Structure 1
């Protein structure tokens, strides 16, 4: 079932699918109405793929005129890396796939998802699709402070990892440093849940590495076509190899972030900004990943920011209104998050975007 949100900033519908344990050559879900004219679709999944096995996830959309598009490949995934790639060059008159996001050239009102298993033993554990319509340049949101003062401060103890402590590491996986915010964030959340690679899986990293699990996450999320570690669904799928459930969606306010954090779930966010737009950051970025870990009693946002120069500086406080602006605006990610949690850990109630 899909629930639809209609809000000033964005419209979002998120749907979970149950894929049979053995889908055979392919499994195709029923057509899923969105409930509004959507402009973007993002699929995310966790899967188990033994050596030699992999999955392909595709989406087909239906336009407002009732025409079905072709099938677009949203990703080819193997936890062992062969293949682990997005697929460029799919654009046509209906839309295109920008690494991990189907961007419609004309609005779509429904879609189908198809999963093809290759090799022996491949299975999908979680599969979700987020449909959204994000204005190109929405007005900056007013800070949503409701709940913080009455509930008091909250902070989840999430281990701190700086991406910059890995500068120059493993150029074959985008070289560490400024490029590894995603792997650092996923490694932090895995450690929070007590998950992640065992020491025996880290021997290849090399002596003297300050935090081998970050290098491991970079290798495990690297998209060979994109040539980077910033593919959102691939980061979710990597976490899934260590037993977490997860999905990519959009949130509409820091109030929704707060609902998840107060339920005990750190949330990974994507944002872009100039240094003056996020006081205390000290840097500008065209795209960056952070982990939201808590809220002050006044409602400001506690984060683990992997852009800090070292682990000791990773924990930061950012003003709520400024954070909401750079995270939610349509010229950035439009409120993108990925939520990772053990399957047995219940999510708080939602209005439809998780």
Structure 2
């Protein structure tokens, strides 16, 4: 039966846990300060993934079916979109709230793997523990595969004294010591449910400096299909992210024989477009799109290209977010950019980076080799190592190091 839901406030953390988290944060801060004094810039990065079958945490109007999260039609909550954020009318919903996740961070980016039949959508929220006090819930976008019952979009206007949401990234003014995440599932029809397979959050505190970690010697040259964003008039010049996503999906189509993953660039653009941001560069919208076809997809932040080498050596091309000023990246088809994404498909014996850069003027011209030091700087200095990882479920991936 339907229930009316009262607003639920997060429980205050147990004093002992709060003291432990505070001590952890002080220890991390002191360690970072010592490293900075020694001339080495450092960061603390980590990746958290939802537990198997969503064990732990709290289910409200949701259930676990075949290890995935769905709405429970017998316990749904009724809501009305009085703010015009969603469908402008009545809907039903449920949620899953994690346990407290102890982690030191100032920035967090969620990503998720879900399927949303027409009339359903998903949303992820986060609340951080800062100086012993929980922040409000910040919302990291309303997402669905299509554009019904409304257009997918990020959520603007969330700034307060604790931080803000920059399209797809929660940015805090001060370091947090813990976080809780809440996944909301929505539907127009109680008989139809979205399905969430898993979700994760990449956390960062500080930035990494390029050139600190040398090449690990791993070489690879993955045969990623070549696709240029520039061959598409009327908007292609800003389609770097979906073009890169399209290339990686097509690569997996060739590797596995699953032709459903070979999707034209304009179709991917339609599937990732953020109608509030008015662009196709929303990071988790891109990985969520790939995941909706059954691939594993997530956004992570890495600390060096040596980490990327592990992935390309495992047969996984990665998508990197970069930016650079004029003259800072030799061989680039565009002189400078405030934000760009490209596919890293391998490394040569010298450790330089083999890419498919969608900014090239033609499909054949996208294969470009970049100087390792220059590309690593463009990546770490500007997106803090932000990377899309997209690969088939069950694919053998590098051993986890806490960053993925």
Task: Map Cα deviations across residues 137-158 of structure 1 (whole Å, 9 max, x no partner).
Answer: x65434622324xxxx311111
Q: Which protein, 1 or 2, shows the higher relative CO under an 8 Å CA cutoff with sep ≥ 6? A: 1
Aligned to 2:70, which of 22, 46, 49? Answer: 22
Following superposition, the deviation at residue 80 of structure 1 comes to: 0.8
Aligned-residue CA RMSD (Å): 1.9
Aligned twin of 1:70: 136
Q: Secondary structure at the match of 2:320?
A: strand
Task: Map Cα deviations across residues 11-70 of structure 1 (whole Å, 9 max, x no partner).
Answer: 101000044332541110111001x3x11011001101001111111111111x210011
Matched, 1:11 2:60: no
Following superposition, the deviation at residue 346 of structure 1 comes to: 2.3
Task: Map Cα deviations across residues 219-238 of structure 1 (whole Å, 9 max, x no partner).
Answer: 00000110000000000000
Q: In 2 relative to 1, CA 103–157 (structure 1 residues): closer, same or farther, beyond 3 Å? A: same
Aligned length: 321
Provide the rounded CA distance (Å) in 2 between the counterparts of 1:198 and 1:72.
33
Q: Secondary structure at the match of 1:166?
A: coil
Aligned to 1:339, which of 366, 389, 396? Answer: 389
Aligned to 1:111, which of 161, 179, 182? Answer: 179
Q: Secondary structure at the match of 1:182?
A: helix
Q: 1:196·1:242 contact (CA, 8 Å) conserved in 2?
A: no
Q: Rg: which structure is higher?
A: 2
Q: In 2 relative to 1, CA 129–143 (structure 1 residues): closer, same or farther, beyond 3 Å? A: closer
Q: Secondary structure at the match of 1:13?
A: strand
Matched, 1:84 2:156: no
Provide the rounded CA distance (Å) in 2 between the counterparts of 1:59 and 1:23.
20
Q: 1:247·1:338 contact (CA, 8 Å) conserved in 2?
A: yes
Structure 2 regions of 5+ residues with no counterpart? 1-24, 33-40, 55-63, 73-93
Aligned twin of 2:10: none
Q: 2:216·2:309 contact (CA, 8 Å) conserved in 1?
A: no
Q: 1:45·1:126 contact (CA, 8 Å) conserved in 2?
A: yes
Q: 2:347·2:353 contact (CA, 8 Å) conserved in 1?
A: yes
Please, what TM-score do these two structures have when normalized by structure 1? 0.86
Q: Secondary structure at the match of 1:276?
A: coil
Please, what TM-score do these two structures have when normalized by structure 2? 0.76
Q: 2:302·2:387 contact (CA, 8 Å) conserved in 1?
A: yes
Q: Secondary structure at the match of 2:244?
A: helix
Q: 2:210·2:377 contact (CA, 8 Å) conserved in 1?
A: yes
Q: In 2 relative to 1, CA 139–257 (structure 1 residues): closer, same or farther, beyond 3 Å? A: closer
Q: 2:333·2:359 contact (CA, 8 Å) conserved in 1?
A: no
